[in-house]
Amino acid sequence: MSEERRKLATAEEVSEFLGVPVTTLHQWRWKGSGPRASKVGRHLRYRWADVEKWLDAQAKVAA
């Protein structure tokens, strides 16, 4: 099984992609409502697949 690995995204990159402030991402994470994130050492990182999956789920909820 071959899955293409993409670079993990920073909060700043996800913030820019979604068009929301980084503080909003942190609030969502604290509330458990945003895209799944992982701590890598001291750093918060996102998998692009998780961000896109979360975004797709938001579109379905809004429809």
Q: How far is the C-alpha of 38 from the C-alpha of 45, rounded, in Å? A: 5
Say what the pLDDT of residue 3 is: 55
Cβ-based neighbour number of residue 37 at 10 Å: 20
Under the banding of pLDDT at 50, 70 and 90, the label for residue 18 is very high
Under the banding of pLDDT at 50, 70 and 90, the label for residue 60 is confident
pTM for this entry: 0.84
